[in-house]
Structures are given as structure tokens and as C-alpha cells.
Amino acid sequence: MADAAAGAAIGMAQPHAAGDMPLLLSGVPGPGRDLVARAVHYLGPRRHRPFVPVRCAALDGTPLETALPGLVRLAEGGTLFLDAIESLSARGQEMLWSLVQAGSESRVRWIAATAVDLHARVAAGAFHDALLDRFANARIQLPPRR
């Protein structure tokens, strides 16, 4: 079972591993999103640099805007994986957008994951539309768990 999950993760990750553009993983919360994010990292050219997972929903009151600059430094040359990106505050989304646009994307590979329809959140004014556009250019839709 674990081998099948790993094989599926590698299959989904392979087409995106060599790229460097921000990547959005969509699917139910759980180990599948983390597994695919790690596969993208370890199959790509940044594999010898850090993989830094961040559970956005578990920042326990620490605003992402406070933590993000240090996380980017920690992931220097590697991958920064932002799980549950939908839980970022408007200010956190704006800061993330600024970092991605300012060229820090070349310093880190950005991978974000969500379990919600971010297009619906944008339509409701609850998610930064340009940030979604930037991440949704490369996307992996994870199948539901069985």
C-alpha cells in the first residue's frame, strides 16, 4: 500500500520536478499532499537543499508575515512548502505575493497546498486573486483518498 502511494506521488510529481515555478497541490488534507510536495523537491534540481514544510493553519497565532522572511532564509536554495494556504490572513497572502513577485522565487521553490476551492474564495473576496493566479499556473489535483 505504501509503495503504491509513493509510486503515485512520484508519477504526479515527475512532470513538475524540473521546473521552478510556484506549484499548487489541491486535494484533501493528509499525507498525500506532503508526499507529493516532497517528491517534487527530491526529484528536482533543489534536492540537495532544504525542504521546509510549513503548516499555515498551525502557526498558533504567529502571523505568517512575521515568520515568512525567516522561513525563506531557512529554505534558501530549496523548497518552501506552504500547506493549507487558504488559512493565511489577507496580510499574509499579500506578503507572500510580494515575495513571489520580488523574485524570491529564484531563492526558493514555492509549493502550496489547499483543500478548498480557491477560485470560490477569490470570488468571495477571501483570497488574493493574483496570488492564486501565480500558484495555479502549475497545479496537481490529488485524487481523493480511498
Query: What pLDDT, in 10s, does the model give residues 7-36?
Result: 776 787 888 899 888 999 998 888 889 999
- In this prediction the pTM is 0.89
Per the CATH hierarchy, to which homologous superfamily does domain 2-141 belong?
P-loop containing nucleotide triphosphate hydrolases (3.40.50.300)
Measured CA to CA in angstroms, residue 127 lies from 15, 81, 123, 135 at distances of 27, 18, 8, 12
pLDDT at 62: 65
In the chain, the N- to C-terminal Cα span, in Å, equals 11
- Tell which wins on pLDDT, 100 or 132: 132
Reduce the DSSP state of residue 64 to 3 states and report it: helix
Residue 1 pLDDT level (bands cut at 50, 70, 90): very low
Residue 126 pLDDT level (bands cut at 50, 70, 90): very high
pLDDT at 5: 60
What is the C-alpha to C-alpha distance for residues 128 and 135, in angstroms, rounded to an integer? Answer: 11
pLDDT at 15: 87
| CB distance 85 to 60 below 8 Å | no
